[in-house]
A and B are shown apart, each in its own frame.
Chain A
Amino acid sequence: MKAIFNINGKDYKAEFSEGEMLDKVLRKIGLLSVKHSCNSMDCGTCTVLIDGNPVLSCGTFAASAVGKKIETVESLSQNEKLHPLQEAILEENGAQCGFCIPGFELSAKALLEKIPEPTEKEIRSYMKGNLCRCTGYERQHKAIMKASKKLKE
């Protein structure tokens, strides 16, 4: 089947099969930040935002996402300027191998839109679907706190 996907504010035409998952289609389009990793909805690296809410694209049928607003991490930086969240992750050394970061940043962005000043407990609760095997999470959580302040300024 063929359809138009609205991704990061732009329309993309794509051809895909009825049973195909969204992560595969996004990668075919060229958005390689969306990782195809555990493929069992466990790790969070395939997280994208659909209508502003984080979902796992490896468990979302591509056909279901047609007509919705999809965001990947490519939407965060504008005019070669990093999003305050990305700046905060760099400053706090919140990324090591970087594999989990696209999914992590999208969940964190959605969290800060929902709760602009989250507590440590809220960060832990909302971010538990994004696994990171490098950082131990502390620096990432600090980065979210810092981004919260940056976005307020």
Chain B
Amino acid sequence: MHFSIKNFYKPRNAEEALDYFQNNPDKSVFLSGGTSLAKNNLSRFDTIIDVKSNFSKSIKASKDYFIISGSTNLQDILENNELNDNFDNFFKKYFGLIGNWQIRNMATIAGSIASRVGWSDVISLLLLLDTELEVVNKNGSEWIKFDEINKGLSKGDLITNIKIHKNKPNCGYKRFSRTEFDIALFNCGVALSLKENKIESVKVVFGSTPITGKRYRDIENEMINKDIYEVIEIIPELIDKHFDGKSSPFISKEYRKELAKVYMRRLLEELSGVKK
């Protein structure tokens, strides 16, 4: 029981939610699924604004992109046929690795992003796709590139929609956790485009508490226009040079670094067909 909570609001739309927030910005928090909020950090707040219960849940397709409303839960996304058909079962394969059925029914896509926790598989996975976020705050609404969430989201911002462009990359994803449905202690994703064994474009993503999932552009830049065989050989060097994972009570930064080397090598081999 959280005795510090004095108010629990269930607004019908973003405007109402922001009004509640503005009444008490220092002590209010948006609840969007609440799988992390339910157990952590609640003592700092006295007002919960539930932006899941009454908000609409939808996945809409247009010619070039999908729009997923922020309060859509992860299980509904995993099971959406249109999304999976377009992205070669990306969501079925990789959202299925997140938690378990119950957790995926509770967790929303916006909540999984807004918390910006290092172990979020959702953040690392969406970084592999061409993703944008619609963010609403007291100044209005704007779309931000998903790559910029670490600097583009501020306190009081509400993620209302997620736009995913239909250009499906050749990508793969791996995660490491203590048990099958535990949080990821480390995750790694690669999206790769090759032309005659030369790397045309690449995205390299690592997520590991306490660092929120992010693209490693220094690594990507060193891979561009290089031969895939050559890159596979220099992965340890690239990781040693650029990987900035930290230690947590469950796993050391040295171990994370070794995982980064192994997973990245395996992903590059799988994606390029160099080794089956």
Binding site for B on A (CB under 8 A): 1, 17-21, 24, 39-42, 44, 47, 50, 53-56, 59-61, 63-64, 67-68, 107, 125-129
Contacts and interface: CB of A to CB of B under 8 A. Distances in A.
Nearest to A65: B53
B8 A60 contact: no
A59 B75 contact: no
Nearest to B50: A64
Contacts of B143: none
Contacts of A63: 8, 10, 48, 50
B34 interface: yes
A21 B1 contact: yes
Size bin of chain B's contact surface: 20 to 34
B5 A18 contact: yes
A42 B178 CA distance: 12
Contacts of B106: 55-56, 59-60
Given A59-B106, A64-B34, A24 B101 contact: no
A60 B34 CA distance: 7
B93 to A, nearest CB: 12
Contacts of A42: 182
Contacts of A17: 1-3, 5
Nearest to B39: A40
B35 A41 contact: yes
Contacts of B38: 21, 41, 59-61
A59 B3 contact: no
Given A18-B5, A19-B5, A54 B34 contact: no
A19 B2 contact: yes
B100 interface: yes
A61 B39 contact: no
B34 A61 contact: yes
28 contacts: A17-B2, A18-B6, A18-B7, A18-B8, A18-B48, A19-B1, A19-B8, A19-B48, A20-B2, A21-B1, A24-B1, A40-B39, A41-B38, A41-B103, A42-B182, A50-B105, A54-B101, A55-B102, A59-B38, A59-B39, A59-B106, A61-B38, A64-B31, A64-B52, A67-B53, A68-B53, A125-B96, A126-B101
